[in-house]
Amino acid sequence: MTVAPKIPDTAAPRPLANGAPAIEVTNLTIAYGDFVIMRDLNFTVHQGDIFIIMGGSGCGKSTLLRVLIGLKEPAAGKVVYREGSLWDAPPETRAVISRRTGILYQSGALFSSMTLAENISLPLSQYTALTRRQIREVVSLKLALVGLAGFEDFYPSEISGGMCKRAGLARAMALDPDILFFDEPSAGLDPVSAHLLDELILELRESLKATFVVVTHELSSIFAIGNNSVYLDVETRTMTASGDPNKLLAESTDPKLRRFLTRGKE
């Protein structure tokens, strides 16, 4: 039996107990130049949440995600992780925060000229001191975790879109992040593959005790996996609801939110 090597991880603090705040967003305003996309966002992502950022097309979901992961500076407000305020922290602190976050982009974003193993090896060779052999073991472990055991030497073009997405997830998990960010993970997938990806996310939450922040407008995903959410309203350019999406569906009286959550079928 091979034992998975422990990734040296001296910089990252110990995981939080489930339910503690993982990301606190306060009075956040995001803008492109003078054009405000969203203002006055206030919400908390808790450890172990599958937190959904929802709202219609073009309302600012992807932009908000970019602010949360440190790629776009907000016009005002704070994004506070355990280590401190992301946009006020010194570079070392931001490095620690980004070291324990993983990101799965819309396309899966694998390099097409590299095998799955090579794709997943990238962050490991960049950020750890593991040997080639140890890296190979971690890669196999991550692929097994997403149901792709034995696909190490396949190229992205040789596998399906759903499998590419799962391989992208394996890469996002390479460094054992405790917060994973997804932008429209089921975009471009057939309903069966999309459903399998949802199941996988739920399984990973259980097994890894990770926190997920998921941008999506797929209703089936929202209700199947989300336990917490924020709804961004494109007209008023602010959030108009937050909380468990199933609870919002059962209890909210806001006509716009209801239209969104029922696809206008009410």
- Binding region for Mg ion (CB under 5 A): 62
| In the complex, minimum distance from the CB of residue 30 to ligand ADP, in angstroms, rounded to a whole number | 8
CB distance 213 to 23 below 8 Å: yes
Nearer to ligand ADP, 101 or 216 (CB): 216
Q: Which among ligand ADP, Mg ion, none contacts residue 13 (Cβ within 5 to 8 A by kind)?
A: none
CB distance 212 to 180 below 8 Å: yes
Nearer to ligand ADP, 60 or 185 (CB): 60
| In the complex, minimum distance from the CB of residue 38 to Mg ion, in angstroms, rounded to a whole number | 13
d(CA 105, CA 126): 19
Q: Which among Mg ion, ligand ADP, none contacts residue 48 (Cβ within 5 to 8 A by kind)?
A: none
| In the complex, minimum distance from the CB of residue 123 to ligand ADP, in angstroms, rounded to a whole number | 25
| In the complex, minimum distance from the CB of residue 33 to Mg ion, in angstroms, rounded to a whole number | 19
Q: Which among ligand ADP, Mg ion, none contacts residue 191 (Cβ within 5 to 8 A by kind)?
A: none
Q: What is the DSSP string of 20-72?
A: SEEEEEEEEEEEETTEEEEEEEEEEEETT-EEEEEESTTSSHHHHHHHHTTSS
Nearer to Mg ion, 45 or 53 (CB): 53
Q: Which among Mg ion, ligand ADP, none contacts residue 32 (Cβ within 5 to 8 A by kind)?
A: ligand ADP
Nearer to ligand ADP, 30 or 146 (CB): 30
Query: What letter would DSSP give residue 12?
Result: S
Nearer to Mg ion, 178 or 184 (CB): 184
Tell me how far CA of residue 235 lies from CA of 26, 27, 38, 54, 231, in angstroms. 21, 18, 10, 14, 12
The sign of the torsion formed by the CA atoms of 30, 64, 20, 245 equals positive
Nearer to ligand ADP, 37 or 194 (CB): 37
| In the complex, minimum distance from the CB of residue 36 to ligand ADP, in angstroms, rounded to a whole number | 10
d(CA 149, CA 144): 4
| In the complex, minimum distance from the CB of residue 185 to Mg ion, in angstroms, rounded to a whole number | 12
Residues forming contacts to ligand ADP in the complex (CB under 6 A) are 32, 37, 55, 57-63
Q: Which among ligand ADP, Mg ion, none contacts residue 59 (Cβ within 5 to 8 A by kind)?
A: ligand ADP
Q: In what order do the strands lie in the sheet with 21-32?
A: 84-85, 76-81, 21-32, 35-46, 238-242, 228-233, 50-55, 211-215, 179-183, 101-104
Is residue 250 packed enough to be buried (19+ CB in 10 Å), middle (13-18) or exposed (0-12)? exposed
| In the complex, minimum distance from the CB of residue 59 to ligand ADP, in angstroms, rounded to a whole number | 4
Nearer to Mg ion, 142 or 165 (CB): 165
